Every structure is written in C-alpha cells, then in structure tokens.
Amino acid sequence: MNTNKKIKYVLTNDKVIRAELKKVIEEKYKNAPVRIIEELCLDDKSTRIDIAVVNGILHGYEIKSDLDTLIRLPKQMNTYNSIFDQITLVVGVQHLYEAFNLIPDHWGVMIAKTNEDGSIYFNKIREASENKLQKKLSIAKLLWKNEAIGVLEDIGYSYGYKSKSKDVIHEKISSILDLDTLKNKVRKTLLLSRTDWRSGTIPMLNGD
C-alpha cells in the first residue's frame, strides 16, 4: 500500500501575499512609529510600489505572485532603485529563479509559499542592503506640490516659487538639498505631516 501523500501546490496570488505581508510588517514595527502605504505612486503616477514602509528609512516591497508576470520588473527596478533606501522582492516559487537573476544584489528576497490549507508563509532568502542608486529628483517627486513648497519655505527658498509648476519646484529642491537632508524631509512628510491621503493608497500608522 502506497502511503505517500501527494501534496498539491497552491499558486499564490497578490491579494493573499499582500494581506499576510502587511501582518508581518505590522508585527515587526508594532512598537515603533511607522507608516505602511499600499500602492504608493512613484515616477509621476506611472509606477506604483505594492507596499512602502516609512520609518527610519524608506523600504519598498514589490510582490510578484505565482500568477503575476515579470514583464514590468526591469522598468520597476529602475524606478525603485532611484527612490528607496532598501527594496525587497516578495516572489512566488514559480518566478524565484528568473526574478533572482534579474534583480541587483542589494535587493532583499522573500519567497511566498503556501501551506496545505492555502495559507501563506515566507522564507527570507536575502536581506535587503543599502541602495546606492538613489536620485534626488526622484525622491523629491514623492512630495505633493504643497508639501514641496513647504520644504522650500523651511529652507528659505520659497520666494517666487509658489506659482511655479510642481516639476520646477521639485527640481529646485533637489538642486539645493544634499541627499541625506532631502531623504529626511521626505520621510518626515510621509510619516508625520501628510494626512490627506488620496485614493489608491491605504496608509496605516503604528506606534506612538
């Protein structure tokens, strides 16, 4: 009698991975101030990151489930590298090897797998490390126009710029501030100052 039980692998999808990943992130930062943002718009709204986590750094999580494709990943990589301090790819087993060969070494990698009951669990393959490909202008573009003007006011350069386009204001900010100062101001805005979140983002603030 053959007692071997054949386990059927259940393909992962974005919805179930995202729900479980949010729980993992919330637990990790449960005692710290953190903003967890779904579908954060980047690159003038042409690209979104699945989950952005804002605390001491800006960490982006991109999900590629078994039911997704990797077609957009190369373009997404360029955008994410220009903005985030750290990036982690959360990938289904079906795409692991192909995705691992596409992404740069500083990206973290988590595999999303399914238990027999269809629930999701994660195996961390590689920790995310410092991203040295960030661009000031890309980071400045995370600011809405009123927020960008507020930054210029803080540093005494707002005169004559309130009527300018958002692009001109972002250019000005990125030309004046050094990278670390700019990142600090953007993180502070996303974490503490922004309250009027627009449709398409689901922010969550943990900690005191």
Q: Where are the domains of the chain?
A: 14-126, 136-196
Residue showing tokens 């692009």: 167
Q: Are 49 and 42 in contact (CB under 8 A)?
A: yes
Residues 17-29: tens digit of each pLDDT:
999 999 999 999 9
What is the gyration radius of the CA atoms in the chain, in angstroms?
19
Q: Are 89 and 64 in contact (CB under 8 A)?
A: yes
Mean pLDDT, all residues of the chain:
88
| Strands 47-54 and 58-64, bridge-based pairing | antiparallel
Bridge partners of residue 51, in order along the sequence: 38, 61
Which pLDDT score, from 0 to 100, does residue 106 have?
A: 98
Q: Are 207 and 27 in contact (CB under 8 A)?
A: no
Closest CA to 183 of 72, 57, 93, 80: 57
What's 94's DSSP letter?
A: G
Which pLDDT score, from 0 to 100, does residue 1 have?
A: 47
Q: How many CB atoms lie within 10 A of CB 16?
A: 16
Domain range 14-126, CATH architecture: 3-Layer(aba) Sandwich (3.40)
Q: Which two tokens stand for residue 142?
A: 């995370």
> How far is it, in rounded angstroms, from Cα 154 to Cα 162?
13
Which pLDDT score, from 0 to 100, does residue 208 have?
A: 41
Buried-state track 91-103, b at ≥16 Cβ within 10 A, e below 16: bbbbbbeebeeeb
Residues 113-168: tens digit of each pLDDT:
988 777 899 999 999 999 999 999 999 999 999 999 999 999 998 888 888 999 99
The H or E element spanning position 117 is none
Residue 188, φ and ψ in degrees, nearest 5: -60, -40
Which pLDDT score, from 0 to 100, does residue 101 have?
A: 92
**Hey, is 51 helix, strand or coil?**
strand
pLDDT band at 12 (very low <50, low <70, confident <90, very high): confident
Residue 59 corresponds to which amino acid? H
> How far is it, in rounded angstroms, from Cα 79 to Cα 60?
11
Which pLDDT score, from 0 to 100, does residue 64 have?
A: 96
